[in-house]
Structure 1
Amino acid sequence: MKSKRRTITFYGLIIILIIAVALNFYKLPYYVEKPGAAESVNGIIKVKDGHKVNGQFMLVYIYVGAANVYQYLWAKYDGNDYTNLLKAQNVKLPDENQKEYALRQQNYMVDAQETATYVAYKAAGKKPKINNKGILILNVISDMPAAKELEEGDIIVGANGKKVETIKDLQPFVKGLKPDDSLSLKIKRDGKVKTVNVDVGKFPGKLTQGKTKYGIGIIQSNERDIEVKPKISFDIKNIGGPSAGLMMTLEIYDQLTNNDLAKGFKIAGTGTIQMDGKVGPIGGIKEKVVGADKSGAQIFFAPTADHEAKDAKEAAKDIGTDMKIVPVSTFDDAVKYLNTLK
């Protein structure tokens, strides 16, 4: 009898263990967002023969990861105001798989590096040149005919026999497309060029708020590079998204000009950078303030767009940091502030 009870207990424990392990791998339709840290870009951005930066410009990242059952419960009940649960649809685009999501985040970072390079070199009087190379496909809507011919990572370089270098070049070919129309696209895939015929399809109603719309059904980005002298290299790994744009621009500009912008300070910040130097909002600003403070930053640049600088100041007050929050609307705003430092 005792032997039978031991056997039942043993197998019961095995079943519980299997369930516990399975729950660790089962992903819920939620993501956990929490503060990360600030990381200096001094060693990961190199302008050839550039000047040494006296201080640190720091990009700030937050942790965003798909939640399993345990992570969901921890985030929901840990009592930390800066740990958040996000619904999957607020993180991923509709119909976006994990591979497409990763490609989009990687493309955001690459685009931010290119834009930061352009803005910094132009501000330093170095005359950067933009080389447009086509249209990078980030996502193909699975319910549309194009999914049979196109893949994420393809680069469109032609349409109906004409050269295509930018999204603007493609627009005349897709404007006014109707059912039963098709489009001949020249694409690059894995280093090879091929031509495919893509049929026009009706967008799923969930993507158009019920309105009837037709097209080829892709999410795209311009594929380009920025030609500069002196050359520049980036070694940023495992960080995606566009939010490091401003801080990368400041680092590059300081290496080019030797203006000693940092003046020995640890300067963190966030915000996208646009080709005209405007700084855009990024989301997660409060969590980034927490991460920057924990990393010892003394100054934090926050975009004025979408009231993010206001949110950053509220978070700084809440955690009791001495880190100074500096609102900026443009790259020039940040440079002007840094020029006032002693």
Structure 2
Amino acid sequence: MRVLGIETSCDETAAAVVDGERRLLSNLVVSQLDEHRPFGGVVPEVAARAHLEYLDSLIARAMDDAGLGYGELDGVAATAGPGLIGGLFVGLMTGKAIAAARDLPLMAVNHLEAHALTARLTDDLPFPYLLLLVSGGHCQLVAVGGVGRYTVYGGTVDDAVGEAFDKTAKLLGLGYPGGPALERAAVDGDPARFPLPRPMLGREGCRMSFSGLKTAVRHTVERLDTLDERTVGDLAAAFQAAVADVLADRCANALDAFARDHGVPGPLVVAGGVAANAALRARLEDLAGARGTRLVAPPLGLCSDNAAMIGWAGVERLRLGCTDGLDARARPRWPLTEMSPADVEKGAAAWSA
């Protein structure tokens, strides 16, 4: 089973070919950092035009790298949401065109589901498991019971953690993209120098909040006379430590809820762009070990947006017969809890089998 994956939900143009044996036959990503850096963030119109420019040739390269012709594919998977609507149109319409021209099944993939299933691609992880999804636009704790079967324990009430990383990095003058720059700055910083708040820490449930933490950094910066390299490093380390404390606390509550619901303590999976943060991974690994389970984290190259995870989600759905018509629509908002009932039933049946 070989599936072409297409990802254009934000500012990465990506194409990959994945097979049913969990092999990445090709996996290509074109970053748009240079296009968006002058603006300090992603500009939707610029992103959509870049996808138009890059996607056709990138798909051709992915097919060449895989050593396949289109007639050797078993399906096409394209991100249909959530994301920036212009970019989603580009990728989904391209996927539809290939599927129609080659008479192939189409899978209109939920980007969040693709992140949720990445651990099955990289680690062949069985259902069920607990997922911490942390990225620039999303932050939630989800019990993954099967393809199309998701229970959200809690999410952020304001900023996603990746957004908080980026905005804090901008406050510290670290440039764009902010998350990796802040992590680098924090390496030699003193996290104890600045006492930043830990929103929601110690509360019941799994809800999260990062807006107040970001605001606390801004107030700290405004009170400082100078923002030298050492101070930037200390503030970056303090922010990163606060985020890790909050996420570990929320994950501990979610692990309790997961154990009550499923009778097992985990495993705990972390996915999304922020899952590449080494300090967060280390903190979650300690938590998982203390709870008698393990942490599963994708390789760094599969944490940020990529087409391999879209292709793999296509493989999972194709196996269950969850295909889509050429009338599948792009959806800028598409929570995991809004997966279609038919898909949920098929996912549940596969999990129970």
Fold agreement, TM-score > 0.5: no
More strand by share: 1
More helix by share: 2
Q: TM-score, normalised by structure 1?
A: 0.29
Q: TM-score, normalised by structure 2?
A: 0.29
Greater RCO (Cα-Cα under 8 Å, separation 6 or more): 2
